[in-house]
Structure 1
Amino acid sequence: MNWKKPLAWLALCSMLLLCFPAATQAAAGGKKVRLPDFPVLINGQTPDNSKLKYPFFVYKDITYLPLTWEYTRALAIALSFDQEKGLHIGMGGGRLSGGWIGWKKEAFRPDLSGSNPRNRAYTATMPDFPVTIGNSYIDNGSEPYPLLEWNDVTYLPLTWKYAHDALGLELVWDDAKGLNVIGGQQQVLGAIYYDDADYLYVYPELITEPDRGGLRVKKSLDETPIWMTNKETDELRKRIVELKRETAGEPASLETRDDGLYYQGLHLMTKEQITVSPGEAGMAYIRELKGMRFELPSGITLVSVEKITAYNIGRSLYEYRTFLILGKKVSEIIELQQPLDRIIANDDGSFWLVSNGMPTHGRIMTGTQRLALLDAKGNVRLANEVLSESEIVVPGVSTPGLKELLTEDGELLIYRSGISNDGSFSPQDTQGYYWLDTGFNISKADALDALAKEENSQDRPNLNRGGVYMGSDRKFYLLRMKNNTIFNYSDNKTGRWYDDELLATQ
């Protein structure tokens, strides 16, 4: 087949004009297209289709997007053209990293120099060059919704296969507003870390203007998030520290002796366990040994020891041990070698010991999200072993100010990862929310199935980034990991904000 060259834009490829003038003759047989009878939005903006130089079209009830410079930049679609391989369409163009002060978001400015009357007949043609979308060659002639050309511009059908699966776009339909095509968004909203009666407080994923420390979002989700100053953020953090002290332990005074580490004269760790071998790589040394104690009504004392080993490469290793003290007897709870986040008292005198994981390099270490039951006699059972679950999370444990985590029936809400705890870490059909009692009886929290399914979806690049937050009002707020969206699962409300609402534009 004789593939003919597109013209002038190829010589100006650094400008990526993306209009693909077809100096070639179109394949025989035009396709009748029409203007949509509904609005089409690009990242929340509604260009006037009657004035667009390259309007949106509808063919066989599918909306078609013109692949011009303005649209591909706005939606982060990358285009390239090769004389032999033809047109390649992929993800990536337009989403620029904005991690420095002074960076501004590129505004979307469509070309409104056209005139597109509704009574006009519109005919598109088939492109006569090969097309690849993502890693897939498109047999355009056999596709039910082929790529088309109009006025020398290539048009992409916004099918789910192309738009969502291949290009990562979000397609949102609203009966009143029409079709909203969303892509190329800078993720500004990060994890939710605190809430009060009126607001959610959110870490920023990026800051591009000075004196910005975080954002607060109205719980109604009907107002644009507000940037907080560094001073406001620091004051809030102090308040959070005070709230966490109410559920945390007390500092424990540790004593280092020649033969190891002691607490109130009781031997906790050997000398070898609190020192570093002279031959250790990286010129390692013990930077700190820090203890926290938890006094339980049953007469049991728990002491958690944090050991920080520093290396000359600028990194530190954090290790944790938890000790149970009953009278003068000391035993290590070997099942909990990670931070102890919360102790929850049960009516039968037992306690849930919760560790929602040990963070490292922005992730949670595998196998460190653990839950154990401590009875009044000092016996410990690890829920991860009983339920054969690698990761068990207790929602609300990290919520400052949320003290009561049990239901009136004494049940605890847990989230199971659906990964086995047998060492093989194989998937199993248990992922989701459950109610758990002290007899390790479980029942599925069916009302939260949809939330669990979304947590585990492919649209969430990292589940361990704190996407789901149980507020002090015991409502679930889900941070969707792209396109700056927060979903109040409990009230079925969604708040969505575009990056140009949260960032300065140019």
Structure 2
Amino acid sequence: MKNHRIRLRHTVGGLVAGILLALASGSPVQAEEPSFPMRLPSFPVQVNGLKIDSERSSYPVLTYNNMVYLPVKPFADTLGLEVAWDAARGLKINRRERPSGIRPTVESKDKTSGSRRYEAVLPGFPIDVNGKSINNAGEPYPLLLVDNVSYLPMTWRYAHNEFGWRTDWGAQEGFQLTTEQQKVLHRIIAEDTEALFVEAESNRMLKVNKDLKGDPSLLDDKAKAGVNQLAEKRKPGVPFAGDPKQTAVRLGDSVYYDNIELMSLKPILEKAAAFYESQTEYENKGLDVQSKIMKLDDRTILAVISVSSFLHIPPPYTPYTHEAFIVRDGKALPVPDLTQVPTRVVRNPDGSFWIASEAADRMTSRTPNVYGQLALLDASGQLRGMNTKLGEKDIDLLASTNDGLTVKAYSDRFKAYHDSFIPLDAEEREIYYHLDLQGKETRLFLYKGAGRGYVDSKGHIYVVDRQVNRISNLTSGQSRMWWDYELKR
């Protein structure tokens, strides 16, 4: 090992670096030969931003065969692992369902000689990782024992595939480990001249400097109420609100508003009839037709027709469709890309309108198909579906000005929610655009990740990352990440 170089990059086989997960078994364990010489590293090591003093640690960082090992006894909570051992079942290491948000702690002792060698051996007991039995002796970097303390190597298989951690290497920073983080920062909802106001876990609200320097501060209930009022006022446009005095009517197999036919119900009726003919155990109860009508200006009406079919299925699971129409000059035109009830309408100075249906604020079992949809009714009366134009499933409406909108467009949000566990370096991307009043897009920024965007009064675009507690100012290029244990103090 004297002349070996430390390499901290993963190969095609997926080897990145290694983490020691130390667990005292409580009793002597029979081990197998041969031995594996290990040493203290000659470079810095950081775990979730904390620099480890290996030479003074009771459980020092070690290296073996160009791999890095970190102790688990002081870090198991931070790493989000459950580690258990008994004589009958051996060692079991499992990822916890939720990160703990606990700061790494290091036990100190007198400084140790950096040249000291630590002899490790193969364990003689079964090993189980996330419920899978490990052929440890056949691994290129096996789990090892030093003085009856168990060590797990951080191959790509373990670090990335099993636990979803991220490893980095820098000439100055050395080896850096980022484990799955407890999400504390959720989204920016408002601002003042100097700070951003960020919704946080447990119904808290934090104040963060716009320059992203310093520590976030907690707002009291009175201040939080004022911020919520400010946030409501800054939303683009107005809510889509129906006039109770206005309604569409069903006449025969069609739906009309003000004697103008909006849509035919025949395709829905025929589909339902075919089903009930083949499934005679169910009763055909017909259709339920509802409407929501909003006057946009003196000559423009936005009408939304909601049709529920297969009424034998109880709410809220009854199938339904939504169709949106612009009624102008005695004609009805379907609004492209809108398959949901609109949530907001933005009127522009030139007489054009943005019509938006917002994506679900939080993904649940009842909202997996609630997309962000956007359409433009331009000043000439032309309707344009912006999801189709941008080629994206979701568009989030962030801010409006006299010359257009700032939006976030993306299509891969389901990747982030279909899997119960997403590695920190999962491939995701979101694009920020400016849309002018004719629907022409100007690409502003690509965010490599998934987050929640916010546009401040100066037009700066901020993003709160979905996976880690990071806020990025895309306009200035500044970014700051806080560790979960810092924000939970």
Q: TM-score, normalised by structure 2?
A: 0.68
1:69-80 to 2 correspondence within 5 Å? 70-80=74-84
Distance 1:332 1:25, change over 3 A: closer
Q: Mind listing any 5+ residue stretches in structure 2 that lack a counterpart?
A: 1-20, 251-256, 266-282, 309-313, 414-427
After TM superposition, the structure 1 stretch with the greater mean CA deviation from structure 2, 149-158 or 131-140, is: 131-140
Q: Distance in 2 between matches of 1:441 and 1:375?
A: 11
Residue of structure 1 in register with 2:163 after alignment: 167
Are 1:44 and 1:498, in contact at CA under 8 Å, matched by a contact in 2?
A: yes
Counterpart residue number, 1:117: 113
Q: Which residue of 2 aligns with 1:92?
A: 96
Matched AA of 1:479 = V
2:454 and 2:385 map into 1 onto residues whose CA distance is: 24
Matches of residues 4-15 of structure 1 in structure 2 within 5 Å? none
Q: Does 1:487 align with 2:472?
A: yes
1:64–1:157: 8 Å Cα contact kept in structure 2? yes
Structure 2 residue 206 is the aligned partner of structure 1 residue 215:
yes
Could you tell me which runs of 5 or more consecutive residues in structure 1 were left unpaired when the two chains were aligned: 1-15, 97-104, 208-212, 274-279, 420-428, 456-465
Q: 1:259 to 1:137 in 2, by over 3 A?
A: closer
Tell me if the contact between 2:404 and 2:437 (Cα under 8 Å) persists in the aligned partners. Answer: no
Output aligned runs, 1:306-455, within 5 Å: 322-327=324-329, 333=335, 336=338, 337-343=340-346, 345=348, 351-357=353-359, 362=364, 365-366=368-369, 368-376=371-379, 378-384=381-387, 389=391, 391-394=393-396, 397-399=397-399, 402-403=400-401, 406=404, 415-417=409-411, 445=443, 448-449=445-446, 451=447, 453-455=448-450
Give me the whole-angstrom Cα distance separating, in 1, the residues matched to 2:304 and 2:363. 21
Report the AA paired with residue 51 of structure 1.
R
Letter in 1 for 2:207: R
State the shift of 1:91 in Å: 0.9
The one-letter amino acid of 2:393's match is E
**Greater shift after overlay, 224-233 or 118-127?**
118-127
Is the contact between residue 56 and residue 110 of structure 2 (CA under 8 Å) also seen in structure 1? yes
Tell me, in whole angstroms, the C-alpha distance in 2 between the residues paired with 1:438 and 1:471: 21
- Is 1:247 matched with 2:237? yes
* 1:496 aligned residue (470, 481, 486): 481
Aligned residues: 421
Match of 1:187 among 183, 190, 208: 183
> Cα distance, 1:168 vs. partner?
2.5
With 147-156 and 181-190 compared, the bigger mean Cα shift is at 181-190
Would you say 1:203 and 2:199 are equivalent positions?
A: yes
SS state of the match for residue 33, structure 2?
coil
**Residue 351 of structure 1: how far off its partner (Å):** 4.7
Question: Does the Cα contact within 8 Å between 1:75 and 1:94 map onto a contact in 2?
Answer: no
- The residue aligned with 2:70 is 65
Check whether the contact 1:367–1:391 (CA below 8 A) recurs between aligned residues. no
* Distance verdict in 2 for CA 1:492–1:151, change over 3 Å: farther
Distance 1:485 1:44 in 2: 13
Identity %: 27
Where 2:123 maps in the other structure, the secondary structure is coil
- Matching residue of 1:301: 300
- Native 8 Å contact 2:40 2:114 kept in 1: yes
Question: What are the residue-to-residue correspondences of 1:137-176 with 2, within 5 Å?
Answer: 137-176=133-172
Contact 2:376 2:384 in 1 (8 A): yes
Task: Label 1:416 to 1:268 Cα distance change in 2 as closer, same or farther (>3 A).
Answer: farther
1:38 aligned to 2:29? no
Structure 1 pair 269/221, CA: closer, same or farther in 2 (3 Å)? farther
**Kindly tell me: are residues 234 and 174 of structure 1, through their superposed partners in 2, closer, same or farther at Cα, counting changes over 3 Å?**
farther
1:382-414 C-alpha deviation (Å, 9 max, x unpaired): 344567x561415xx234xx425649xxxx866
Q: Compute the RMSD of aligned alpha carbons.
A: 4.7
* TM-score, normalised relative to structure 1: 0.66
SS of 1:491 mapped into structure 2: coil
Q: Deviations over 1:318-364 (max 9, x none)?
A: 997655342466666485332243437597x7654333335576585
Whole-Å Cα distance in 2 between the matches of residues 239 and 257 of structure 1? 34
| 1:293 to 1:215, Cα distance in 2 relative to 1, 3 A | farther
Question: 2: distance between equivalents of 1:74 and 1:495?
Answer: 20
Q: Residue type matched to 1:164 in 2? A: H
Change (3 A) 1:475 1:137: farther
One-letter code of the match for 1:248? V
CA contact (8 A) 1:338 1:357 kept: no
- Supply the distance in 2 between the matched residues of 1:437 and 1:241 (Cα, whole angstroms): 24
Q: Which moved more, 1:22-31 or 1:350-359?
A: 350-359
8 Å CA contact retained: 2:260, 2:331: no
